[in-house]
Structure 1
Amino acid sequence: MFKGSWVALITPMDQQGNIDYVSIERLVDFHLENGTDGLVIMGTTGEAATISFADQVKVIEHVCQQVKGRIPIIAGNGANATSEAIERTKALDKLKIDGFLSVTPFYNKPMQHGMILHFNAIAAVTDKPILLYNVPGRTGTDLQAKTVAALSETKNIVGIKEATGSISRLTELKSLCPNDFALLSGDDETSAEFMLQGGHGVISVTANIVPKQMAQLCKLATANEAEAAYTLDKTLQGLHRQLFIEANPIPTKWALHKMGLIKFDTMRLPLTPLEPIHGAVIEQALNLAGIQL
């Protein structure tokens, strides 16, 4: 199940910062129509850090009702306190999701052994599959390959979103983890190479904007059609980079608003709308990817 192009879905909001469910439905239809393999709800790109857990549950439940099993859905369940992550997992486990994306504990910088205990405690309260999520640039904690290998022995810890952007890390993970352990890139800029070197897919920010192209890139790269994959990826590299010119998901929301897919590019503080000076470079990246505003 955990392969191909998964979108790290944004959470649309109105001008007051309330969840915009009409735009969510439009975005989900956009992905259903354009070949996205799976939806990741309430991860980093979904602004889970500033959305109450009660609202997170409502959004996830709403998307599940809309999708009706047509593509898999995984939900963010991470927290920096193990006890909170467990409670979130228990609550979300009641929804019709297909698994969890569980980020490394942030801010408190646990030791590797602490993270083994953390993730195993979460896995013990659900039968659903869990993807680990390693994003040291956000959390201040790096889940080492040997730690991932130890966690891969837990029955329902089935893969990882590896967002270091390091191909050497992929090589290490491949050598230590079982062959059926899902290895997904969490870094769009290096995702084509990640898949060509044996990764199984990507959880993508860029897929918010160009789902069809990202789905095709994954098909080409995982089939080891290197020349075609590199050619397509070249048209997307501008987006891979410029969607991070400001903190994610600021540029992505700006682009989706300009494309008419969401009503507003609103975010909750402390995130703020895109600085006008950056609009031109994002528009240039959109043009390179075949999108005319």
Structure 2
Amino acid sequence: MIDETTSGVFTIAATPFLPDGALDLASVDTMVDFYAENGATGLTILGMMGEAGKLSTAESEAMIARVVARTNLPVVFGVTAPGLAAIQHLSASAMDQGAAGVMVAPPSQLRTDDQIVSYFQNVAEALGETPWILQDFPLATHVQITPNVLRKIFDTCPTCKMLKHEDWPGLEKISALRQQEEDGARRISILCGNGGLFLLEELLRGADGAMTGFAYPEMMRDINALVHSEPERARDIADAYLALIRYETQPGLGLAVRKYILARRGAIAHGTVRKPGLTLSKRTIAEIETLIVRQEARLSAL
């Protein structure tokens, strides 16, 4: 189970589809193996970049069963849904099949601090003893949660074990949360997203690792391992991947880029994004290929 000390690299997994848009369960197996072989210490499935909103309940449950059956790594499942009943149902299904915890993002209609705190208190009540992660991704949810509001949630919801930190800019938020803990507040695990774009700085601010889906999980593995013992080498590695991370974090296009690279690397059979979704033009693919060649050259020179 996840807890307040959970650390490492939890890769946000893609959801593989066949060219016709059907769920590709065979590619789930190869993808899970790929992530484990390239540095993941845990997996997160059915996240926002996992196209969770495009899956039926039956497909979501099939993904849960397939991933848990394939790996011994701890697996977290995104269970964000419009209502608490759906969150509760999918969470129960995930935990019954061996999940390590679940992740919930706030609905976009929350406007005030009191509404945000009340919502997550209701989530905690609905989930019972299930350990859960608060996904703080205001660029997608449009819900701004301050460090003080986060602290109120953590203090009143002991089953919330982790913050999926994805604010941008958000480095000061990490520092504020860690300062709260130095002042006596309960510790919370912090794993960070945004494609790994700021991972090195986030780790130096006190984050415990990464929870994101960049198509090169070995980047997150290496930076996480070296940031404190060999910081200059960690910076060199971050620099080598930076151009491709930047390209992959384009709003709207990023998932198609990520799945193209995952297919190119053999993790999944097809780079299909389920409709509605963008497809890559020949010119975009050429740009990606150029960035990969330059990335490989930079890494070989280290």
Task: Give the alignment's TM-score, normalised by structure 2.
Answer: 0.88
2:218 is equivalent to residue 212 of structure 1 = yes
Over the aligned positions, Cα root-mean-square deviation in angstroms equals: 2.0
2:275 is equivalent to residue 269 of structure 1 = yes
Alpha-carbon distance, 1:47 to partner: 0.5
Match of 2:139 among 129, 137, 140: 137
2:246 is equivalent to residue 244 of structure 1 = no
Alpha-carbon distance, 1:112 to partner: 2.3
**Residue 126 of structure 1: aligned partner:** 128
Q: How many residues align?
A: 286
- Cα 1:118–1:83 change in 2 (3 A) is farther
Alpha-carbon distance, 1:287 to partner: 2.5
Alpha-carbon distance, 1:126 to partner: 3.2
Contact 1:246 1:274 in 2 (8 A): no
Contact 2:110 2:116 in 1 (8 A): no
- Secondary structure of the 1:250 match is helix
- Cα 1:288–1:80 change in 2 (3 A) is farther
Q: 1:241 corresponds to which letter in structure 2?
A: R
Q: How far apart are the structure 2 equivalents of 1:237 and 1:168?
A: 21
**Residue 52 of structure 1: aligned partner:** 56
Contact 2:21 2:275 in 1 (8 A): no
- Cα 1:270–1:249 change in 2 (3 A) is same
**Residue 149 of structure 1: aligned partner:** 151
**Residue 234 of structure 1: aligned partner:** 239
- Secondary structure of the 2:135 match is strand
Q: How far apart are the structure 2 equivalents of 1:150 and 1:243?
A: 34
**Residue 187 of structure 2: aligned partner:** 180
Aligned identity (percent) is: 21
Q: How far apart are the structure 2 equivalents of 1:183 and 1:211?
A: 18
Match of 1:171 among 175, 180, 185: 175
Alpha-carbon deviations, 1:177-231, whole Å to 9, x = none? 546311111121111110012111111221xx2222321111112x353212111
Task: Give the alignment's TM-score, normalised by structure 1.
Answer: 0.90
Alpha-carbon distance, 1:251 to partner: 0.7
2:266 is equivalent to residue 260 of structure 1 = yes
Q: 2:191 corresponds to which letter in structure 1?
A: L
Alpha-carbon deviations, 1:235-293, whole Å to 9, x = none? 1111211112352311101112222332221122221212332222222332243299x
Give 5+ residue unaligned stretches, structure 1.
none
Q: How far apart are the structure 2 equivalents of 1:36 and 1:52?
A: 27
- Cα 1:57–1:111 change in 2 (3 A) is farther
Alpha-carbon deviations, 1:124-162, whole Å to 9, x = none? 223232111011111111222111111112221011111
Q: How far apart are the structure 2 equivalents of 1:75 and 1:279?
A: 31
**Residue 11 of structure 2: aligned partner:** 7
